[in-house]
Structure 1
Amino acid sequence: MSLSKEAIQHITDTALEAHGKSLGTHTPTAVLPAGCQVITLEKWQAGRSRFRGIYSTHSLADFSAYVADRALPDAKGFIDQDEMTCTLLFNLGNDAVPGHADDRAILKLKPSAGYKAVQAIGSRAMTQKDLSDWIEDWHQYLSAMDEAGGSMSIAKAIAAVRTITIKAASESDHTVSETSASRSTLDQIEARSKETLPTSLLFNVIPFEGLTEQWINLRVSVITSGAQPVLKLRWVGEEVQREDIAQEFKTVLQDKIGRNAALSLGAFDPK
């Protein structure tokens, strides 16, 4: 006598109900008859089988305090200096006793408003009004420098930017001989202002919470190829200064965490 599929499934379910209800795992689990599913019973317990979770913050001080409060042995942190982040794993374990790596603390530094403004303005083409408005908006963080390296007031810098004019001059030379003739033309375009135009703007800013102040040198350039002047600010030594800020991040974080975790540069994917 052949059995139908439904009959075989019923016999299997009955056997599992009789002999296979629970499994000998650390977190209580059970095998359900329908489809032989393995489920966790952790949510029915008074507490969780183990601590796990992800703590995220933008605050370096709060992140360090959380790590110090946990103070678990073998905690390991991985710093991504490009992204200014640190991922700390409390239960990564080791080769002999690997952990689940699902108990984490994540720090992602949030750039200050001033630092974001500097990054956004760098090498951007602006009109006179755009740049004068930007200087006016951030005047409390700015110092203006003239061509000789002396300081000038922000009010004069704004006035100089607003009163730029373009002066064009053309000069032609003609040479004639018995057998030939030549002609050369020299065009000169110059941008001038009624006030002394600043050559640099120094931006004083704390790039991220917990780090030290930085002086960012923004070189002012005027492009005269069009009918209206176009201005740009170039961050002098940008890459080097960014690397210094990233290195300071690692140093400050290591000082605050101390021996509560081992920090390494790079990223780690626990899969």
Structure 2
Amino acid sequence: MENIELIQKTAVEAAGMRLLTADGRSSASAVILEQQEHLKSLEWLQPGRDRYRGTLKTTSIDDFASYVQIVSSSSPAVGFVDIANMASTVFFNLGTVNDPGHGDWLATLTMQRTAAFEALHKIDGVKCEQKALTDWLEDWSDFLVADFAEGDATLARAVAALRKLKISTKAEATSNVGDFNASRSALEDVEASSADLLPIGFRLATEPYEGLSTRIFALRLSVLTGGEKPLLVLRWQRKEAALEAIAREFKSVLAEKIGSGVPLTIGTFSP
């Protein structure tokens, strides 16, 4: 082992390559240390870097597009759109197949749900007691409209009807007797009702993400009567279709804001 280390050291000394210089610089950018001949960068001692690199991270589609436009005017850029996670990455020094770059100068965009859209995700399919759901409806009343089977009514009336919701049980027994057999059956009918007209659902209108258009999301109301207390469930109707439409709009809006100078590809890329 000592002989190998001696040969390495002698070879480096003989070649005069203990100090290494980056392309385009007159001063050394790295040094080969004598101990185990490790390479150590000297960039931190220089007035400037060997090359520009860094990462911008933002949740604002407008700021992301503005930065990409400014930088791509002098550095060729290529972008990727991850529609499943509502995110995008643009590389400014990825280079080409014939002239590859380091790919360590980039900008990333991660879209964040608006508060109302996040609330929609959290309430979807959750079994709520009366107070929990009526509190949620009142908290987001600025974004909600109540739907009724017959006629129109206010959201306040819908909340009042849900507060007065009760469960009633009706039992019925039948008995049949013959010469050689007898049968008996019992039926129990459980019904949820209110002193006022119950809504059949709600509509929530909001921007799903900042910079995208406002959409209306339908919520179907169900009442579960299996327990001592009624449980209320709001089910987001056509959820998958809505998410697909939002993803398509995201790519379209992003391409429009960035401009045609930066090609966008659906997917992710790791250099």
Residue in 2 that maps onto 1:93: 95
Partner of residue 131, structure 1: 133
Matches within 5 A, 1:7-22: 12=9, 16=13, 19-22=16-19
Following superposition, the deviation at residue 13 of structure 1 comes to 7.4
How far apart are 1:45 and its partner, in Å? 1.9
Corresponding position of 2:34: 33
Shift of 1:35: 1.8
* Match of residue 157 from structure 1: 158
Match of 2:111 in 1: 109
Bigger mean CA offset, 213-222 vs 26-35? 26-35
CA distance in 2, matches of 1:177, 1:10: 109
- Give the drift of 1:59: 0.2
**Partners in 2 of 1:129 and 1:13 — Cα distance?**
81
- Alpha-carbon separation, structure 2, partners of 1:66 and 1:119: 31
Partner secondary structure for residue 256 of structure 1: helix
CA distance in 1, matches of 2:12, 2:99: 36
- Post-superposition CA distance 1:19-70 (Å, at most 9, x none): 3332254272222222212122222222112111000100000000000111
* Number of equivalences: 265
The answer to whether the 8 A contact 1:143-1:151 is kept is no
**Deviation of residue 190 (structure 1)?**
0.4
What's the CA shift for 1:14?
11
| CA offset digits 1:133-168 (Å, max 9, x no partner) | 0001111110001123x4321111111111111011
State the distance in 2 between where 1:84 and 1:219 align: 26
Q: How far apart in 1 are the matches of 2:122 and 2:79?
A: 31
Q: Secondary structure at the match of 1:269?
A: coil
Aligned residues of 1:17 and 1:33 also touching (Cα < 8 A): no
Partner of 1:120: 122
Secondary structure at 2:251 match in 1: helix
RMSD: 2.2
Paired position in structure 1 for 2:233: 232
Q: Structure 2 length as normaliser, TM-score?
A: 0.91
Verify: 1:189 aligned to 2:190, yes or no: yes
SS at match of 1:225: coil
CA distance in 2, matches of 1:82, 1:12: 52
How far apart, in 2, do the equivalents of 1:119 and 1:245 lie? 14
Question: After TM superposition, what 4+ stretches of structure 1 lie above 6 angstroms from structure 2?
Answer: none
Segments of structure 2 that go 5 or more residues without pairing to the other structure are: none
Report deviation, 1:101.
0.4
Identity %: 36
Within the candidate set 141, 144, 157, 1:142 is matched to: 144
Displacement of 1:17 in angstroms is 9.2
CA distance in 2: counterparts of 1:258 and 1:164, whole angstroms: 54
Q: 1:121 to 1:15 in 2, by over 3 A?
A: closer
Task: With the length of structure 1 as denominator, give the TM-score of the two structures.
Answer: 0.91
Question: Which range moves more in the overlay, 115-124 or 68-77?
Answer: 68-77
- 8 Å Cα contact 2:8/2:37 also seen in 1: no
Going from structure 1 to structure 2, the CA distance change for 1:80 and 1:18 (only over 3 Å counts) comes to closer
- For the 8 Å contact 1:14–1:33, the answer to whether it is kept is no
